[in-house]
Structure 1
Protein backbone atom coordinates (compact mmCIF):
# COMPACT_ATOMS: atom_id res chain seq x y z
CA UNK A 1 0.00 0.00 0.00
CA UNK A 2 1.24 3.47 -0.74
CA UNK A 3 0.24 7.11 -0.76
CA UNK A 4 1.84 9.08 -3.59
CA UNK A 5 2.00 12.74 -4.54
CA UNK A 6 1.46 14.50 -7.85
CA UNK A 7 5.20 14.20 -8.67
CA UNK A 8 5.05 10.39 -8.67
CA UNK A 9 6.90 10.15 -5.35
CA UNK A 10 5.90 7.90 -2.47
CA UNK A 11 4.79 9.76 0.67
CA UNK A 12 3.84 6.76 2.78
CA UNK A 13 4.22 3.02 2.23
CA UNK A 14 3.16 -0.08 4.10
CA UNK A 15 5.03 -3.21 3.00
CA UNK A 16 4.41 -6.77 4.06
CA UNK A 17 0.85 -7.67 3.08
CA UNK A 18 0.41 -10.82 1.03
CA UNK A 19 -0.77 -10.43 -2.56
CA UNK A 20 -3.48 -13.05 -2.18
CA UNK A 21 -5.38 -10.85 0.29
CA UNK A 22 -7.80 -8.19 -0.95
CA UNK A 23 -6.68 -4.56 -1.04
CA UNK A 24 -9.37 -3.64 1.47
CA UNK A 25 -8.31 -6.40 3.87
CA UNK A 26 -4.63 -5.51 3.60
CA UNK A 27 -5.47 -1.84 4.12
CA UNK A 28 -7.58 -2.53 7.24
CA UNK A 29 -4.81 -4.70 8.74
CA UNK A 30 -1.97 -2.29 7.87
CA UNK A 31 -0.50 0.34 10.17
CA UNK A 32 -1.20 2.94 7.49
CA UNK A 33 -4.89 1.95 7.38
CA UNK A 34 -5.19 2.05 11.17
CA UNK A 35 -3.56 5.48 11.37
CA UNK A 36 -5.78 6.83 8.61
CA UNK A 37 -8.86 5.43 10.34
CA UNK A 38 -8.05 7.04 13.71
CA UNK A 39 -6.78 10.30 12.15
CA UNK A 40 -3.12 10.02 13.18
CA UNK A 41 -1.63 9.52 9.70
CA UNK A 42 0.59 12.51 8.96
CA UNK A 43 -0.83 13.45 5.54
CA UNK A 44 0.24 16.65 3.74
CA UNK A 45 -1.29 19.86 5.06
CA UNK A 46 -4.49 21.25 3.61
CA UNK A 47 -3.69 23.87 0.97
CA UNK A 48 -5.77 25.88 -1.47
CA UNK A 49 -6.09 24.48 -4.98
CA UNK A 50 -4.71 26.68 -7.78
CA UNK A 51 -6.91 29.75 -8.22
CA UNK A 52 -8.71 29.16 -4.90
CA UNK A 53 -8.42 30.78 -1.46
CA UNK A 54 -10.08 28.11 0.66
CA UNK A 55 -7.86 25.21 1.79
CA UNK A 56 -8.80 21.80 0.40
CA UNK A 57 -8.21 18.73 2.56
CA UNK A 58 -5.74 16.09 1.45
CA UNK A 59 -7.74 12.87 1.31
CA UNK A 60 -6.35 9.50 0.14
CA UNK A 61 -8.22 7.77 -2.67
CA UNK A 62 -8.81 4.11 -3.35
CA UNK A 63 -10.66 1.83 -5.71
CA UNK A 64 -13.81 -0.24 -5.18
CA UNK A 65 -11.96 -2.74 -2.97
CA UNK A 66 -11.53 -0.18 -0.20
CA UNK A 67 -14.17 0.37 2.47
CA UNK A 68 -16.11 3.61 2.52
CA UNK A 69 -14.65 5.84 5.25
CA UNK A 70 -15.04 9.52 6.12
CA UNK A 71 -11.36 10.18 5.35
CA UNK A 72 -10.95 7.96 2.26
CA UNK A 73 -12.45 8.68 -1.15
CA UNK A 74 -13.58 5.78 -3.29
CA UNK A 75 -15.88 5.50 -6.31
CA UNK A 76 -19.61 5.01 -6.08
CA UNK A 77 -20.74 1.47 -6.92
CA UNK A 78 -21.41 1.11 -10.64
CA UNK A 79 -25.10 0.29 -10.04
CA UNK A 80 -25.50 3.76 -8.45
CA UNK A 81 -23.36 5.74 -10.88
CA UNK A 82 -25.07 4.26 -13.95
CA UNK A 83 -28.26 6.17 -13.22
CA UNK A 84 -26.78 9.36 -11.76
CA UNK A 85 -24.73 11.62 -14.03
CA UNK A 86 -23.07 13.45 -11.09
CA UNK A 87 -21.88 10.17 -9.57
CA UNK A 88 -20.65 9.00 -12.96
CA UNK A 89 -18.61 12.21 -13.44
CA UNK A 90 -17.24 11.88 -9.89
CA UNK A 91 -16.15 8.29 -10.61
CA UNK A 92 -14.41 9.33 -13.84
CA UNK A 93 -12.49 12.11 -12.11
CA UNK A 94 -11.56 9.91 -9.19
CA UNK A 95 -10.33 7.29 -11.64
CA UNK A 96 -8.18 9.93 -13.33
CA UNK A 97 -6.64 10.83 -9.96
CA UNK A 98 -6.02 7.15 -9.17
CA UNK A 99 -4.11 6.87 -12.42
CA UNK A 100 -1.28 8.89 -10.80
CA UNK A 101 -0.91 6.11 -8.22
CA UNK A 102 -0.91 3.41 -10.91
CA UNK A 103 1.64 5.35 -12.98
CA UNK A 104 3.89 5.75 -9.94
CA UNK A 105 3.97 1.99 -9.45
CA UNK A 106 4.58 1.50 -13.19
CA UNK A 107 7.54 3.91 -13.09
CA UNK A 108 8.92 2.05 -10.06
CA UNK A 109 8.58 -1.34 -11.78
CA UNK A 110 10.19 -0.05 -14.99
CA UNK A 111 13.18 1.24 -13.10
CA UNK A 112 13.50 -1.79 -10.81
CA UNK A 113 12.74 -4.80 -13.01
CA UNK A 114 12.86 -7.13 -10.01
CA UNK A 115 9.11 -6.45 -9.64
CA UNK A 116 8.32 -8.22 -12.92
CA UNK A 117 8.91 -11.68 -11.49
CA UNK A 118 8.53 -13.47 -8.17
CA UNK A 119 11.23 -12.47 -5.69
CA UNK A 120 12.51 -15.75 -4.34
CA UNK A 121 14.20 -14.78 -1.08
CA UNK A 122 13.20 -14.62 2.58
CA UNK A 123 10.21 -12.43 3.42
CA UNK A 124 12.38 -10.12 5.56
CA UNK A 125 14.75 -9.65 2.62
CA UNK A 126 11.88 -8.89 0.25
CA UNK A 127 10.52 -6.26 2.63
CA UNK A 128 13.95 -4.60 2.88
CA UNK A 129 14.42 -4.76 -0.90
CA UNK A 130 11.01 -3.22 -1.58
CA UNK A 131 11.59 -0.42 0.93
CA UNK A 132 15.02 0.27 -0.59
CA UNK A 133 13.58 0.56 -4.10
CA UNK A 134 10.92 3.02 -2.86
CA UNK A 135 13.60 5.19 -1.24
CA UNK A 136 15.81 5.04 -4.33
CA UNK A 137 12.80 5.81 -6.55
CA UNK A 138 12.09 8.99 -4.55
CA UNK A 139 15.78 9.94 -4.57
CA UNK A 140 16.06 9.54 -8.33
CA UNK A 141 12.79 11.48 -8.87
CA UNK A 142 14.07 14.34 -6.72
CA UNK A 143 17.29 14.80 -8.70
CA UNK A 144 16.82 16.88 -11.87
CA UNK A 145 13.30 15.72 -12.56
CA UNK A 146 13.56 12.04 -13.40
CA UNK A 147 17.23 11.16 -13.20
CA UNK A 148 17.69 7.63 -14.45
CA UNK A 149 20.20 5.08 -13.22
CA UNK A 150 22.40 5.45 -16.33
CA UNK A 151 22.79 9.17 -15.62
CA UNK A 152 23.70 8.35 -12.03
CA UNK A 153 26.39 5.90 -13.20
CA UNK A 154 27.80 8.49 -15.62
CA UNK A 155 27.80 11.23 -12.96
CA UNK A 156 30.95 13.03 -11.80
CA UNK A 157 33.24 11.20 -9.40
CA UNK A 158 31.85 12.46 -6.02
CA UNK A 159 28.32 11.30 -6.84
CA UNK A 160 29.37 7.80 -7.86
CA UNK A 161 30.40 6.46 -4.48
CA UNK A 162 29.54 2.76 -4.37
CA UNK A 163 28.70 2.61 -8.09
CA UNK A 164 32.32 2.47 -9.24
CA UNK A 165 33.37 -0.56 -11.28
CA UNK A 166 35.77 -3.02 -9.73
CA UNK A 167 39.17 -3.30 -11.42
CA UNK A 168 39.40 -6.13 -13.94
CA UNK A 169 41.39 -9.08 -12.63
CA UNK A 170 43.05 -11.06 -15.41
CA UNK A 171 43.22 -14.27 -13.39
CA UNK A 172 40.73 -17.02 -14.12
CA UNK A 173 38.79 -18.87 -11.44
CA UNK A 174 39.60 -22.52 -10.96
CA UNK A 175 36.98 -25.25 -11.22
CA UNK A 176 37.53 -25.98 -7.52
CA UNK A 177 35.94 -22.64 -6.64
CA UNK A 178 32.64 -23.79 -8.12
CA UNK A 179 32.35 -27.01 -6.11
CA UNK A 180 32.22 -27.74 -2.42
CA UNK A 181 35.25 -30.04 -1.98
CA UNK A 182 34.58 -30.95 1.63
Structure 2
Protein backbone atom coordinates (compact mmCIF):
# COMPACT_ATOMS: atom_id res chain seq x y z
CA UNK A 1 0.00 0.00 0.00
CA UNK A 2 2.89 2.37 0.71
CA UNK A 3 4.15 2.05 -2.87
CA UNK A 4 0.74 2.96 -4.23
CA UNK A 5 0.59 6.02 -1.98
CA UNK A 6 4.00 7.07 -3.33
CA UNK A 7 2.75 6.45 -6.90
CA UNK A 8 5.41 3.84 -7.60
CA UNK A 9 4.85 2.18 -10.97
CA UNK A 10 5.82 -1.24 -9.65
CA UNK A 11 3.20 -1.17 -6.89
CA UNK A 12 0.55 0.33 -9.18
CA UNK A 13 1.30 -2.23 -11.90
CA UNK A 14 1.15 -5.17 -9.51
CA UNK A 15 -2.09 -3.95 -7.94
CA UNK A 16 -3.64 -3.31 -11.36
CA UNK A 17 -2.73 -6.82 -12.57
CA UNK A 18 -4.16 -8.40 -9.43
CA UNK A 19 -7.35 -6.36 -9.70
CA UNK A 20 -7.80 -7.17 -13.40
CA UNK A 21 -7.07 -10.86 -12.83
CA UNK A 22 -9.31 -11.18 -9.77
CA UNK A 23 -12.28 -9.61 -11.57
CA UNK A 24 -11.63 -11.00 -15.05
CA UNK A 25 -11.18 -7.57 -16.59
CA UNK A 26 -10.00 -7.34 -20.18
CA UNK A 27 -8.43 -3.93 -19.62
CA UNK A 28 -7.69 -1.56 -16.77
CA UNK A 29 -6.45 1.98 -17.41
CA UNK A 30 -4.82 3.99 -14.61
CA UNK A 31 -3.77 7.61 -14.88
CA UNK A 32 -1.76 9.59 -12.38
CA UNK A 33 -0.21 13.02 -12.61
CA UNK A 34 3.16 11.45 -13.45
CA UNK A 35 2.43 8.39 -15.60
CA UNK A 36 -0.32 6.35 -17.21
CA UNK A 37 -0.45 2.59 -17.02
CA UNK A 38 -2.68 0.16 -18.89
CA UNK A 39 -3.09 -3.50 -18.05
CA UNK A 40 -4.83 -5.68 -20.60
CA UNK A 41 -5.26 -9.24 -21.76
CA UNK A 42 -3.59 -9.53 -25.14
CA UNK A 43 -6.04 -10.66 -27.79
CA UNK A 44 -8.90 -8.95 -25.96
CA UNK A 45 -9.74 -5.38 -26.86
CA UNK A 46 -11.28 -4.96 -23.40
CA UNK A 47 -13.56 -2.28 -24.73
CA UNK A 48 -10.56 -0.10 -25.51
CA UNK A 49 -10.95 0.02 -29.23
CA UNK A 50 -7.55 -1.62 -29.50
CA UNK A 51 -8.28 -5.03 -30.94
CA UNK A 52 -5.85 -7.83 -31.45
CA UNK A 53 -8.44 -10.21 -32.85
CA UNK A 54 -7.03 -12.88 -35.09
CA UNK A 55 -3.70 -13.04 -33.29
CA UNK A 56 -2.57 -16.42 -32.03
CA UNK A 57 -3.12 -16.59 -28.28
CA UNK A 58 -0.13 -18.88 -27.67
CA UNK A 59 2.25 -16.05 -28.60
CA UNK A 60 1.36 -13.96 -25.57
CA UNK A 61 3.77 -15.68 -23.18
CA UNK A 62 6.90 -14.62 -25.11
CA UNK A 63 7.72 -10.95 -24.59
CA UNK A 64 9.77 -10.97 -27.79
CA UNK A 65 6.83 -12.24 -29.85
CA UNK A 66 6.03 -10.01 -32.85
CA UNK A 67 2.31 -10.26 -31.98
CA UNK A 68 2.96 -9.08 -28.43
CA UNK A 69 5.20 -6.25 -29.61
CA UNK A 70 2.50 -5.17 -32.06
CA UNK A 71 -0.11 -5.16 -29.28
CA UNK A 72 2.20 -3.11 -27.03
CA UNK A 73 2.99 -0.64 -29.82
CA UNK A 74 -0.69 -0.12 -30.61
CA UNK A 75 -1.60 0.35 -26.96
CA UNK A 76 1.29 2.75 -26.30
CA UNK A 77 0.45 4.72 -29.45
CA UNK A 78 -3.15 5.12 -28.28
CA UNK A 79 -2.07 6.02 -24.75
CA UNK A 80 0.41 8.56 -26.14
CA UNK A 81 -2.27 10.29 -28.17
CA UNK A 82 -4.51 10.40 -25.11
CA UNK A 83 -1.66 11.97 -23.14
CA UNK A 84 -1.09 14.59 -25.82
CA UNK A 85 -4.81 15.42 -25.82
CA UNK A 86 -4.89 15.78 -22.04
CA UNK A 87 -1.69 17.82 -22.02
CA UNK A 88 -2.94 20.17 -24.74
CA UNK A 89 -6.23 20.58 -22.90
CA UNK A 90 -4.50 21.30 -19.58
CA UNK A 91 -2.21 23.88 -21.16
CA UNK A 92 -4.78 25.67 -23.31
CA UNK A 93 -8.23 24.78 -22.00
CA UNK A 94 -9.15 23.82 -25.59
CA UNK A 95 -9.08 20.94 -28.03
CA UNK A 96 -9.28 22.13 -31.61
CA UNK A 97 -8.31 19.15 -33.71
CA UNK A 98 -5.31 16.94 -34.17
CA UNK A 99 -2.93 19.58 -35.51
CA UNK A 100 -3.72 21.81 -32.53
CA UNK A 101 -3.21 18.91 -30.09
CA UNK A 102 0.16 17.97 -31.59
CA UNK A 103 1.37 21.59 -31.63
CA UNK A 104 0.34 22.27 -28.02
CA UNK A 105 1.65 18.93 -26.76
CA UNK A 106 5.06 19.58 -28.32
CA UNK A 107 5.47 22.51 -25.90
CA UNK A 108 4.99 20.35 -22.80
CA UNK A 109 7.57 18.70 -20.56
CA UNK A 110 7.65 14.99 -19.92
CA UNK A 111 7.27 14.16 -16.23
CA UNK A 112 10.71 13.46 -14.79
CA UNK A 113 9.18 11.42 -11.98
CA UNK A 114 7.18 9.50 -14.58
CA UNK A 115 10.35 8.82 -16.60
CA UNK A 116 12.07 7.57 -13.43
CA UNK A 117 9.10 5.32 -12.68
CA UNK A 118 9.29 3.94 -16.21
CA UNK A 119 12.93 2.99 -15.60
CA UNK A 120 12.01 1.35 -12.28
CA UNK A 121 9.11 -0.43 -14.03
CA UNK A 122 11.55 -1.88 -16.59
CA UNK A 123 13.72 -3.27 -13.79
CA UNK A 124 10.86 -4.54 -11.63
CA UNK A 125 8.98 -6.33 -14.41
CA UNK A 126 11.92 -7.20 -16.69
CA UNK A 127 10.18 -5.03 -19.26
CA UNK A 128 11.00 -3.81 -22.72
CA UNK A 129 11.18 -0.25 -24.00
CA UNK A 130 8.87 0.67 -26.85
CA UNK A 131 8.91 4.21 -28.23
CA UNK A 132 8.61 6.66 -25.32
CA UNK A 133 7.12 3.97 -23.09
CA UNK A 134 7.62 0.42 -21.96
CA UNK A 135 5.75 -2.84 -21.57
CA UNK A 136 6.01 -6.04 -19.59
CA UNK A 137 4.13 -9.27 -19.02
CA UNK A 138 2.64 -10.24 -15.67
CA UNK A 139 0.07 -12.90 -14.80
CA UNK A 140 -1.03 -13.21 -18.42
CA UNK A 141 -1.51 -9.45 -18.77
CA UNK A 142 0.40 -6.95 -20.84
CA UNK A 143 1.29 -3.84 -18.83
CA UNK A 144 2.14 -0.64 -20.70
CA UNK A 145 3.44 2.57 -19.14
CA UNK A 146 4.14 6.10 -20.38
CA UNK A 147 5.28 9.22 -18.51
CA UNK A 148 2.77 12.06 -18.65
CA UNK A 149 3.23 15.46 -20.26
CA UNK A 150 3.11 18.35 -17.81
CA UNK A 151 2.20 21.98 -18.27
CA UNK A 152 4.06 24.49 -16.09
CA UNK A 153 0.93 26.66 -15.86
CA UNK A 154 -2.16 24.56 -16.53
CA UNK A 155 -5.35 26.43 -17.34
CA UNK A 156 -7.45 23.51 -16.17
CA UNK A 157 -7.05 20.17 -14.46
CA UNK A 158 -10.74 19.26 -14.52
CA UNK A 159 -11.57 16.55 -17.03
CA UNK A 160 -8.00 15.55 -17.84
CA UNK A 161 -8.62 11.88 -17.09
CA UNK A 162 -11.69 11.89 -19.31
CA UNK A 163 -9.76 13.66 -22.07
CA UNK A 164 -6.89 11.18 -21.77
CA UNK A 165 -9.21 8.19 -21.87
CA UNK A 166 -11.26 9.53 -24.78
CA UNK A 167 -8.14 10.36 -26.79
CA UNK A 168 -6.68 6.91 -26.17
CA UNK A 169 -9.97 5.28 -27.13
CA UNK A 170 -10.23 7.34 -30.33
CA UNK A 171 -6.67 6.53 -31.39
CA UNK A 172 -7.26 2.86 -30.60
CA UNK A 173 -10.25 2.85 -32.93
CA UNK A 174 -8.19 4.51 -35.65
CA UNK A 175 -5.45 1.90 -35.27
CA UNK A 176 -8.00 -0.92 -35.44
CA UNK A 177 -9.37 0.45 -38.72
CA UNK A 178 -5.86 0.72 -40.17
CA UNK A 179 -5.03 -2.94 -39.51
TM-score normalised over the length of structure 1: 0.27
Which of structures 1 and 2 has the larger relative contact order (alpha carbons within 8 angstroms, sep 6+)? Answer: 2
Larger radius of gyration: 1
TM-score, with structure 2 as normaliser: 0.27
